Amino acid sequence: MPERHRVLVVHRRSAYAELVGRGAECSAVDLEQRDNSLVRPLVAAHEAHEESMEIVRRDLGRLPIDATWVHDLALVVPDEFDLVLTIGGDGTVLHASHAIGSTPVLGINSSPASSVGYLTAGTAIQAAGLVERAVTGALPLQRLHRMEVRVGGRVLTSRALNDVLVCHDCPASTSRYEIRLGDRAERQTSSGVWVSTAAGSTAAIRAAGGKVMRAGSRRLQFVVREPFLRERAGAAAEPGLASGFVAPGQVLEMLSLGGDTRLFVDGPHVVFPLPFGERVTFSGSAEPLSLAGYRHRRNASG
């Protein structure tokens, strides 16, 4: 009898389902009016996601695997499975990755018309074939190097896959800090600082002026958001440490010089406080993530 592989299926809820489930109050839009021009895109994405879920569930049922379906990872240990399959978009991959050590991850984009799926390998109709190849070792794996974040010497996470944003809790407030890389240090005032891995270099940090990096790169990258430009010799001067790369073995350090500073890890849901006078460090993690079927941009800088 062939070996049966254990597959953990992690699925998201659509934006429409989340809004309806929370009983969101919409002053100008009734979410039940599905023909409303504002609601229609949400409904279309919701229906695409639900259809993808049905397709994947049906097709996985034909494979010699034992599939466990969850939305909440709190009650499972992903590393007890042979494969983690995510159904959603990049956010679902990021959400699941924080709980995963060595188990390979395979992402399925459940709504390609509306969802970013840069970290995903295919769509619902391709899922069964991709899973079959993944559990037999026939699907290539990309090791994505993650980031370790420490505050006061204590490890907050060693599984930041995309990026960390250091900024004030209020987006309209100023961030004040000292930033240090190697023997260079500078006190700055800005809207915050992005720090990213290679995998995250195609996301927010790119929009902030960063560079796309090779998928397998071990370097980190940082970009200061909207720095306060000081007058020097009658002209506005950029900070000396406005952006740069953190080599393997190096540490990027920031000292909080303001109150209500926060660390947002891989989006808005994982948040840590950075008290006044506390130091946070960013370095390469010893826990890479294995992503199955990952396709990365070729025009990367390194």
Residue type, 245: F
Question: Domain 147-287 sits in which CATH superfamily?
Answer: Probable inorganic polyphosphate/atp-NAD kinase; domain 2 (2.60.200.30)
Domain with CATH 2.60.200.30 in the chain: 147-287
Q: What is the pTM of this model?
A: 0.89
For the stretch 73-127, pLDDT in tens is 988 999 999 999 999 999 999 999 999 999 999 999 999 999 888 899 999 999 9
The architecture that CATH gives domain 5-139 is 3-Layer(aba) Sandwich (3.40)
For the stretch 145-204, pLDDT in tens is 999 999 999 999 999 999 999 999 998 999 999 999 999 999 999 999 999 999 999 999
For the stretch 211-229, pLDDT in tens is 999 989 999 999 999 998 7
Domain with CATH 3.40.50.10330 in the chain: 5-139
